[in-house]
Amino acid sequence: MSDIEALRKQIDGIDAQIVRLLDERAAVAKRIGDWKRDRGQPAFDGGRQRELLDNLASHSSGAFPIEGLRNVFTEIMSACRNMEEATKICYLGPEATFTHQAAVDEFGASGDFIACQSIPDIFDWVEKGRAHYGVAPIENSTGGVVYATLDRFMQSPLIITAERSAPIELHLMANCAMSDIRVVYSHPQPFSQCRDWLQLHLPKARLEEVSSTVRGAELAAQEPGAAAIAGEMAAKKLKLHILQRGIQDVSDNFTRFWIISRDSAHATGDDKTSILFFIKHRPGALYDILRHMAECGINLTKIESRPSRRARWEYAFFVDLLGHQEDENVKTALARLDDACEQIRILGSYPRDRNS
């Protein structure tokens, strides 16, 4: 037997062991799924998944790439979770958008993914029980806040159960040469994130905003002299050539997504909490709220105001803070805010994505 044949035989034996262990894991996972279902608990637990992936990474010697290890076990958990009933996840479509990619990265490819036409549609699907989870963009590190997601929370009873921050690589794609491009299609967000590059390299091209990056890629695939700005998933789906990779003006370009559901997430020790509140109309009201937070040692990572839609010139405030709503200092701060605010709602406590 040659050296390569011996090594291949060794690989075959290892693979057979892996398959036996996967079968054993699936049997235990099924028992856990039955236990959860009998008690009305959700099949997916973002906090538990994050803890498990971190724990697995800590056990690795590094011979197998850590990111690959996380991807492999995300898919293993996805397959086990969906053995009996597929988890339904709706996202901002169409297929191959960045939100679709974020949903697959979070839940694994074994879920039942449903493309929605708008962010309100995502909320509607989950609120009506037609989907277990929704994935919606909340902000981009370059382009800013996605207000449609914030605004929908003013009427929705849904809860943020996880967050995911994903790097956004924007590519120029077409089936023609760059010199022949006369129009570029994309969503408004990518245009805002690639403004300088477009001005420098395609100053004469017409920029046409469309409903999604994938819609832009569809148009680029159909029209002579048309290009699109989108992700690699869209280029593969529409069979477009990537003419220039990574054209975003800021290389460290991330989008944060919220995973929404009707179920809350348990504390992991490394969490975020998002709240919505309306302040009382008196001098220093907002200052008092921020003072309460500071006195309780709360680190605010974001504060945003939006028109309340209840009365003219009245605003709702959205705040992200570090900690879980069950942490003592967060509990104390929220109790003080309850007295200081006209109305307050906890949108959810969830595992913090370290890239956010």
> Do both 68 and 96 map to the same domain?
no
**Per-residue pLDDT tens over the stretch 16-74:** 999 999 999 999 989 988 898 888 888 888 888 888 888 888 888 888 998 899 889 99
The backbone region for 40, taken as left when phi is positive above 0, alpha when psi lies in -120 to 50, beta otherwise, is: left
> Do both 163 and 181 map to the same domain?
no
The pLDDT value given to residue 307: 87
Rg over CA atoms, the chain: 23
Per-residue pLDDT for 356 more than 80? no
- CA dist 263 and 260 (Å) reads 8
Per-residue pLDDT for 99 more than 70? yes
Q: Is the peptide bond prior to 157 cis by the omega test (within 30 degrees of 0)?
A: no
Could you tell me if residue 190 is inside a domain?
yes
Domain with 275 in it:
271-351
Could you tell me if residue 177 is inside a domain?
yes
Per-residue pLDDT for 87 more than 80? yes
The pLDDT value given to residue 50: 85
What CATH code is carried by the domain that includes residue 317? 3.30.70.260
Per-residue pLDDT for 239 more than 80? yes
Could you tell me if residue 249 is inside a domain?
no
The number of domains in the chain is: 4
> Do both 311 and 342 map to the same domain?
yes
Q: Read off the pLDDT of each residue in 251-273 and give the average, rounded to a whole number.
A: 90
Could you tell me if residue 266 is inside a domain?
no
> Do both 184 and 238 map to the same domain?
yes
Evaluate whether 162 touches 46 at the Cβ level (below 8 Å): yes
Pairing between strand 159-167 and 144-145?
unpaired
- pTM over 0.85? The answer is no
Q: Read off the pLDDT of each residue in 98-116 and give the average, rounded to a whole number.
A: 91
> Do both 176 and 214 map to the same domain?
yes
Tokens of 349: 């406590």
Neighbours of 75 (CB within 10 A): 15
Q: Which of 48, 64, 81 is the last residue before a domain boundary?
A: 81
Using 50, 70 and 90 to split pLDDT, how confident is the model at 1? low
**Per-residue pLDDT tens over the stretch 168-222:** 899 999 999 999 999 999 998 899 889 999 999 999 999 999 988 999 999 999 9
Could you tell me if residue 356 is inside a domain?
no
SS3 letters for the chain? Answer: CCHHHHHHHHHHHHHHHHHHHHHHHHHHHHHHHHHHHHCCCCCCCHHHHHHHHHHHHHHCCCCCCHHHHHHHHHHHHHHHHCCCCCCEEEEECCCCCHHHHHHHHHHCCCCEEEEECCHHHHHHHHHCCCCCEEEEEEEECCCEECHHHHHHHCCCCCEEEEEEEEECCCEEEECCCHHHCCEEEECHHHHHHCHHHHHHHCCCCEEEECCCHHHHHHHHHHCCCEEEEECHHHHHHHCCEEEECCCCCCCCCEEEEEEEECCCCCCCCCEEEEEEEEECCCCCHHHHHHHHHHHCCCCEEEEEEEECCCCCCCEEEEEEEECCCCCHHHHHHHHHHHHHEEEEEEEEEEECCCCC
**Per-residue pLDDT tens over the stretch 28-42:** 989 988 898 888 888
Per-residue pLDDT for 159 more than 80? yes
Evaluate whether 167 touches 232 at the Cβ level (below 8 Å): no
Pairing between strand 133-140 and 159-167?
unpaired
What CATH code is carried by the domain that includes residue 76? 1.20.59.10
> Do both 164 and 233 map to the same domain?
no
Could you tell me if residue 77 is inside a domain?
yes
High-pLDDT (> 90) share of the chain, %: 57
Query: What are the backbone dihedrals phi and psi of residue 133, each rounded to the nearest 5 degrees, phi first?
Result: -140, 155
The pLDDT value given to residue 298: 93
Sign, CA dihedral 51-53-56-62, equals negative
The pLDDT value given to residue 132: 93
Using 50, 70 and 90 to split pLDDT, how confident is the model at 128? very high
- The mean predicted confidence, pLDDT, of the chain is 90
Per-residue pLDDT for 84 more than 80? no
Residue located via tokens 């942490």: 327
The pLDDT value given to residue 240: 96
Using 50, 70 and 90 to split pLDDT, how confident is the model at 86? confident
